[in-house]
Amino acid sequence: MLLIFIFVAQKAQAATSTVRGIGWWGDNYKEVYFDCQDDKIGDHLDDPGNLYHLPLPYGFHFFANPCTYLQHHVSIDSNSNFSGQAWNPTKGLISFSGTSTPPDNYTSTTANCPNTCKASNSCWSCYNETQQKVYGWARVDTSGEWIQLDPATTTPTSIQTCNATSVLPGYTIAPGDFVGNASSTLSTLIFNCLNDPGSGNCTIRNYKVYISSLGIGNLSAPNWSYSQACTGTARGATLKWCTKSGTQSAYEIAVSPTNTLSTSTAVCWSGIQPYSAVRQYNLPNSDPTCGLLAYNTAYYWWIRLYDQTGTPTQWYQYFGNSASDTDGNIDNNALTFSTYKHEFPTPYFTWSPYSVLVGSSTIFNALTSRYFTTASPNSSVACSGSFCNYLWTNTDPGATTSASTLATTSIVFNLATGTTVSLKVTDNENYYCSSSTILSINYDLPIWREIKAK
């Protein structure tokens, strides 16, 4: 029995992200917990936190399991807006969304948030992924102090994306990590111990705020250069992505000529592939359904990642193709990448005489070069007429070339050395390949005449 599966896919930015970890709010207020799973409540008798204003029931605690008495979470929704509450043992809950008007009357959030972030949708703060920066405000629930997440006087809050940054030996800012500071009238809230001068480079206190949920970004295709088409095949593609937060253990990819994620239409279904630090998938490959693509065809593709527990994300669809990509976006559809129309030209050339001499004319002939057409994308035709354009170059700066753009040319070399001669052949689609060879240029032997001694 044939089973056909159809899945709903999302664009790569759209997912709610869970914010985890601990920030440091100065020596007076200490830890700020961004999710109750990270709360540390009375688990040591000598911990000053036992004496602070605790969640219900108030008073001294020997131990309380996280999220038992207090449920709080901070997240970033699919519109890149923050919501939820963090918690500080001294000041209580800190909200990242609400309807009160912040001190700057939404100036920074309105100008920098990718979507609406105002009282009308209970928003105070957002994340601008393009800039990798956090904008807006948070507020202490009980006493009303505002915390500015993008202060001008200190390092504003940002979130690392895609590429890890090594800061110190053994300490790395990983994708999804918060860095920078937020300011308030009470104290500076620091999001990463690497930004905290009092942390001893994270040896005295080691903390950070981070996005824990697995996120994906920077989907790109086809990433198939002219050089790859010349040395291999024009029917290839490299699908790339990045992990912008969380931990990836595996991935799964589907490629289809139709905009439906289904096993009945997919020309490539990778199956679950193990994690690779390269984060790319090459076509063609040895997976059962992922061979050569068709010429002159637009393809959609989807990807989902698996976290460290083997749980998959939703399917995300590629959506960023533009004219600057290697395929030139010939179908004007941002959801697809396109393969080349046919194979690329094959440059060949010969020269005569075979032994090249300084100061002598050497004839170079490229008439054995070949090209391909849309009608016969994989069968070459001998170059003739205007179907092939030529460009001859060489590494001898003093050489004289008679006709650098014709199939046949002569070159007079100036230096006796190893000289590289190159031929670039371009077809009517402006596809081009180059071929080169290193010639040993020599001086002509002197003419010796024997003279009889007298």
Q: Where among 165, 183, 211 does a domain terminate? A: 211
Exposed e or buried b per residue across 262-275, where buried means at least 16 C-beta atoms within 10 angstroms of its C-beta: eeebbbbbbeeeee
Model confidence over 94-126: pLDDT tens digits?
999 999 999 999 998 999 999 999 999 999 999
Sorting pLDDT into bands at 50, 70 and 90, what band is 445? low
Q: Quick one: pLDDT at residue 63? A: 57
Residue 118 shares a structural domain with residue 196: yes
Residue range of the domain that includes 157: 15-35+72-211
CB within 8 Å of 426: residues ≥ 6 apart: 345, 388, 389, 390, 391, 432
Place of tokens 């979470």: 73
Least confident of 52-56, 113-117, 223-227, 236-240: 52-56
Overall residue count recorded for the chain in this entry: 454
Amino acid at 447: I
Is the distance from CB of 419 to CB of 396 less than 8 angstroms? yes
Residue 296 shares a structural domain with residue 424: no
Model confidence over 414-433: pLDDT tens digits?
999 999 999 999 999 999 99
User: Global pTM?
Assistant: 0.82
Is the distance from CB of 255 to CB of 263 less than 8 angstroms? no
Residue 76 shares a structural domain with residue 88: yes
Residue 328 shares a structural domain with residue 366: no
Q: Where among 211, 226, 257 does a domain terminate? A: 211
Residue 323 shares a structural domain with residue 370: no
Q: Is residue 241 part of a domain?
A: yes
Q: Quick one: pLDDT at residue 163? A: 84
For residue 74, list its beta bridge partners. 19, 84
Model confidence over 50-76: pLDDT tens digits?
555 444 444 554 556 788 889 999 999
Q: Where among 312, 338, 364 does a domain terminate? A: 338
Residue 87 shares a structural domain with residue 19: yes
How far is the C-alpha of 151 from the C-alpha of 137, rounded, in Å?
A: 10
Q: Which of 361, 365, 369 is nearest to 401 (CA)?
A: 361
Count of C-beta atoms within a 10 Å radius of residue 149: 28
The strand pair at 9-11 and 315-317 is best described as parallel
Residue 251 shares a structural domain with residue 194: no
- Number of domains forming the structure of the chain: 3
